[in-house]
Amino acid sequence: MEKQWYTISVYSENNVGLLNRISGIFLKRHINIEGLNVSKSEIEHVSKFTIVVYTTEDWTRKIVQQIEKQVEVIKAFYHTDDEIIYQESALFKIASHLLFDERQIQNIIKESNSQIVTVNREFFVLAKTGRRHEIDEMHDALEPYGIMQFVRSGRIAVTKATMPITELLTEFQEN
Amino acid sequence: METLKAQKKEQQKQTTMRITGAEAIIQCLLAEGVDLIYGYPGGAIMPVYDELYKFQDRLTHILTRHEQGATHAAQGYARVTGKVGVAMATSGPGATNLVTGLADAQIDSTPMVCITGQVPRHLLGSDAFQETDIVGISTPVTKWNYQVTKVEEIPEIIAKAFYIAKSGRPGPVLVDITKNAQFDELDFSYEKCTGVRSYKPVPQPDPQAIEQAAELINKAKKPYIVFGQGVILGEAEAELKALVEKAGIPAAWTILGLSAMETDHPLNVGMVGMHGNYGPNVLTNECDVLVAIGMRFDDRVTGDLNTYAKQAKVIHFDIDPAEINKNVKADVAVLGNAKETLGMLLPLINENKHEAWLAEFEKKHQIEYNELIEKDIHPTKEGLTMGEVIEQINQASGQNAVIVSDVGQHQMIACRYAKFKQTKSNITSGGLGTMGFGLPAAIGAKMGAMDREVVAIIGDGGYQMTIQELGVIFQHNVPVKIVVLNNDHLGMVRQWQELFFDRRYASTVMTNPDFVKIAEGYHIQSRRVTERADLKEAVQEMMASKNPYFLEVKVEKEDNVFPMIPSGASVADIRLK
């Protein structure tokens, strides 16, 4: 079976130790977590994990079954990239003199649709939100000039289709 | 009606009392109906032990000689009673010694609650004396775990622990309680847990799936049932038997399913898996509908998955949705408790007999009997066989004993040849294969079923992993019958070395102590058998004893267990020699 990118969404109780329990499910099967984001969800006191993996659908399905089996997990889903709207964010820290010495930098900023978060004498910081390949492209464009620091967030995603979780969570909230 | 209501109201009336966390733990256990726990004291759990001292008339604590023994004893108790076994230990090494038992209970779905002491909250993360992150360590081997750091959490968390351990697919739960929470006081009241909002222990059966299953079964020419422990855990023995008899379907079992159906039932065709019976393995690849009930297609059951039952439509009954399509793809998946789903299936099943199909199992059995079984249980060669010892136990016990086995050759022989009339009677470490399980599990099994004979069948290797639990048998006069089948080898590993590693017997030869003298050191009546002529009488003497009894049987040193599906081979390629 062919490997591809899958985004796993996990709705759970917000409890200490659950992250360890969930990450253990990947560890046990030697599957690397490529991206991880934990945040609150549309329902109060319900956390949402967004986990990105590169593997086969068979493995993804089994992992989701195992995740959903955990006592504190309400529901888990997986989706391919086509089925979701997703974004990642990145920050680039770059030496300030490059803004003046390298004209191309300004073009990259304009073309990439990134924002300048801060500027001081030593460095400036660019923020970029988009798909992973867009961030990768911007990274590749800036790299020849020197990037002082780079960081990219985990993926966040919502589905294109209506999710049955909405009803389930409403019920859940009433309990 | 009115009185019933009044009674209920009375029960609901919460009475609170001001007590310490340590006493609250005991009160929780009592409220859960616990009267027996296994454990080992130490610094971080001392407040609880102090309370155990005060409550010893209502709650018996058995001091095992190692915390691992406490977990296996709790497992043995749970497996024989269907109740939750309880084990207790201190922090640090006490807690880490529970890990093997937790892993065993997790993979074999055994309901168990382990309570560990932990260093006081203000010392957490400081590498304090006997501090260890047992919640982190035990996460992959527990169904659920939790660290209590505030006294107020104790009743709710312990209630939740028992509920989670027992409900749905059972499993082990660990509750780690910091010492400050044991010392502090709370206004105590207890309410049993009846649900956790994120947890759906028993899926709702789908009538459509059950109809599809019935249709496949009714149309089948060669239907075949393989059942596992799900039948026992779901208390679905009667429903299974009714299904098997009504539809005339031959039924085989996994080692954890053993004893869910009486061994001598004409439709009970035997054991599947690596050392299972010939027919049940070979015919897996000839059936047209495979009905798997409460089993998980473990690799030791299926052999090579690419050649496993490919010709058959597979119907999978299980309580755990994560088991569906995990190893074998199901054409029809029926989720739910087996008692409920089989109960719904039964009225839809047509009466049938599959005599020609059943005769194929009989034919294969004859081949296996002539080739192997007869030589195993009625040997004519000089050395004693493990099989003949089990056969003698069958005869002396009238097939009514609880058989607890350890892990290795003797375990496979015990599962192959021990006969059962009652359910919950075969206790063994199936999934994890934990050597050392047998002796402490037998203690727990006996204490859970004092009216039954409990016979522990153990090899000389596994016996020495938890031999110190003889101390419990002696101190509490637990009348367990211990049979060590001594071949002076780690027999199963030696067998693999013989078959697959050119007889290079690396570290499998054991120079053993005088086991009879060791048992005598614990004042346990003991006997050694080296000759066939003495075996029957020795087994009878053991079974007749009202006290603990140790029997060592010196068996053939280099016997192998057959049939055998070599690792990774197909069930169809099972070897008779």
B381 is catalytic: no
pLDDT digits (tens, 9 = 90+) for B153-195: 999 999 999 999 999 999 999 999 999 999 999 999 999 999 9
Asked if residue B566 belongs to a domain, the reply is: no
Single out the catalytic residue among B83, B143, B166, B179: B179
Looking at the fold, whether B343 and B414 belong to one and the same domain comes out as no
Are residues B529 and B434 part of one domain? yes
CA distances from B442 to A113, B75, B448, B450 (A): 70, 9, 10, 11
Peptide bond connecting B563 to the previous residue in cis, omega within 30 degrees of 0:
yes
* B67 is known as an active-site residue: yes
Please count the residue pairs, one from chain A and one from chain B, whose beta carbons lie less than 8 angstroms apart: 46
Alpha carbon distance B109, B318 (integer Å): 13
Q: Which residue of B has its CA nearest to A26?
A: B140
Residue B69 lies in a domain: yes
Is the per-residue pLDDT at B10 higher than 60? no
Asked whether residue B365 is domain-assigned, the answer is: no
Last residue in a domain, options B188, B220, B239? B188
Q: Give domain status of residue B198, yes or no.
A: no
- Cα distance between residue B287 and residue B569, in whole Å: 19
CATH 3.30.70.260 intervals, chain A: 3-85+157-174
**B510 domain residue, yes or no:** yes
The confidence band for A42, taking pLDDT boundaries of 50, 70 and 90, is confident
How does pLDDT run across A71-122, given as a tens digit for each residue?
999 999 999 999 999 999 999 999 999 988 988 999 999 999 999 999 999 9
Q: Which residue of B has its CA nearest to A46?
A: B198
Do B354 and B385 sit in the same domain of this protein? no
Based on the domain organization, do B67 and B100 belong to the same domain? yes
Q: Domain range spanning residue B434?
A: 378-554
In terms of domains, do B339 and B483 share one? Answer: no
Query: Does some domain include residue B562?
Result: no
Q: List the single range of A46-55, B4-13, B91-100, B564-573 with lowest mean pLDDT.
A: B4-13
Which is the catalytic residue, given B67, B340, B453, B552?
B67
Question: Under an 8 Å CB criterion, which residues of A touch B?
Answer: 12-13, 16-17, 20-21, 24, 28, 61-62, 65-66, 68-69, 71-74, 172, 175
Location of each CATH 3.30.70.1150 domain in chain A: 87-152
Interatomic CA distance for residues B130 and B108, integer angstroms: 29
B275 three-state secondary structure: coil
Are B277 and B346 found together in one domain? yes
Q: For A74, which residue in chain B has the nearest alpha carbon? A: B198
- What residue type is assigned to position A106 of the chain? Q
CATH of the domain at B467: 3.40.50.970
CATH H-level superfamily of A3-85+157-174: ACT domain (3.30.70.260)
Q: Are residues B243 and B123 in the same domain?
A: no
Interval B295-332: pLDDT, tens = 999 999 999 999 999 999 999 999 999 999 999 999 99
What is the dotted CATH code of the domain comprising A87-152?
3.30.70.1150
Instruction: Examine the domain organization and report whether B396 and B352 are in the same domain.
Output: no
Mark whether B455 and B536 lie in a shared domain. Answer: yes
- Asked if residue B569 belongs to a domain, the reply is no
Q: 3-state DSSP call for residue B237?
A: helix
Q: What is the pLDDT of residue B278?
A: 98
Is B571 part of a structural domain of the chain? Answer: no
Q: Are B158 and B211 found together in one domain?
A: no
Domain count, chain B: 3
Instruction: Name the burial class of residue A170, with classes exposed (0-12), middle (13-18) and buried (19+) by CB atoms within 10 angstroms of its CB.
Output: exposed
B114 and B167 share one domain: yes
b/e per residue B305-342 (b: at least 16 CB within 10 A): eeebbeebbbbbbbbbbbbbbbebebebbbbbbbbbbb
Q: How high does pLDDT run on average in chain B?
A: 97
Give percent of chain B above pLDDT 90: 97
Domain boundary among B360, B386, B420: B360
> d(Cα B314, Cα B224) in Å, to the nearest integer?
10
Residues linked to residue A53 through DSSP beta bridges, in sequence order: A6
Within 8 A of B325 by CB-CB distance, chain A residues are 61-62
State what percent of residues in chain B have pLDDT above 70: 97
Residues B503 and B420 in one domain: yes
| B492 a catalytic residue | yes
CA of B356, closest CA in chain A: separation in Å? Answer: 39
Provide ipTM, 2 decimals: 0.91
End-of-domain residue from the set B304, B331, B360: B360
Using pLDDT thresholds of 50, 70 and 90, give the confidence band for residue B16: confident
Distance, in Å, from the CA atom of B533 to the CA atom of B201, rounded to the nearest integer, reads: 53
